[in-house]
Amino acid sequence: MSEAAEEPPKQYKFDDPEEAFKLARRRITNNALRRHQRSLDLSHFGLVEVPPEIGLLSALTNLDLSSNRLGRLPPEIGNLKNLRTISLSRNTLSVFPDDFWMLPSLLFLFIDDNEFVELPHSLRHLTSLRHLDIDGNMLSALPEEVGALRELNYLSVQGNRLSALPKSIGQLKKLSDLRLDGNEISFLPEEVQEIDGLDTLWLSGNRLSEIPDGIGRLSNLVWLDLSNNQLTELPESVGNLKSLNDLDVSNNRLVSLPSRIGGCVELEGLHLANNALESLPRDIRSLKKLSTLTAQSNRLTSLPAEIGSWMI
């Protein structure tokens, strides 16, 4: 006798949108409002709309509306002047009410896995924002106004359709983590070199054929992922990245590495697989902290004896 197949887990707590709406309204008015709650979790509710009473929760600082069926937000959302974190991940949102962009206290904004095609110029008003996650949308560009987000330290726009970055990206002096994997970026603006505090830069799965020489000015860079692009060479200035711990340039078209690669004195991981490398520079012997080197599927005929123990 075969065991009955397990039922898949429910996607939403309430399959009926009307029931979800009524229960969410009750939770807002009977619980959150009376108790002056600072946090409200309505994730996975099955909501198609958010009850407008949400605007009454003036004390709210954290709001989770992720994993619903929201195609819009009520304008009353703009009344939440103390809101610091809002998660709207995994909905079908493509636009916000105008007042949303005026939330003065907002620090963390998650709008990944929605249907945004563009972001409005009014984005510039979120001047306190520190964390912005826009992964998995349909953005073909970021507005120049993104440069007004001077407090931003994390920006992730993975899995969109970006073909370029705005020059204003260089104004984000506090940005430490920039993730742009899975777009259609064919070049980087020179202004990227002005993001002095950047320690993580992910650009895997784009259309880059070259990297600007200014990349070498990112002295705090620790993680650099350039894999799955169309690079044939790297600038010699890569050797100036004294803090670099991990460099991934696998799945490109590299025929050589910078002769000054040995300048990356903190490098522990170097990923070179699936390129067209015929040799490695002698300077690679200077990488005393290197513990992992992947170089399969190249045209290498010999390796310096010193690096044999690093290969995997």
Residue 24 to residues 33, 70, 83, Cα–Cα distance (Å): 12, 13, 18
pTM of the model: 0.93
With CA atoms as reference, report the closest residue to 131 among 106, 148, 114: 106
Residue 126 has pLDDT above 80, yes or no: yes
* Cβ(37)–Cβ(52) below 8 Å: no
The CATH code belonging to domain 9-109 is 3.80.10.10
| pLDDT number for residue 9 | 65
Least confident of 42-56, 112-126, 142-156, 278-292: 278-292
Confidence band for 301, pLDDT divided at 50, 70 and 90: confident
Least confident of 43-47, 200-204, 276-280: 276-280
Residue 3 has pLDDT above 60, yes or no: no
| pLDDT number for residue 239 | 97
pLDDT in tens, 213-245: 999 999 999 999 999 999 999 999 999 999 999
| DSSP secondary structure, 251-279, as one string | SS--S---TTGGG-TT--EEE--SS----
pLDDT in tens, 45-91: 999 999 999 999 999 999 999 999 999 999 999 999 999 999 999 99
Residue 113 has pLDDT above 80, yes or no: yes
- What mean pLDDT is predicted for residues 110-137? 97
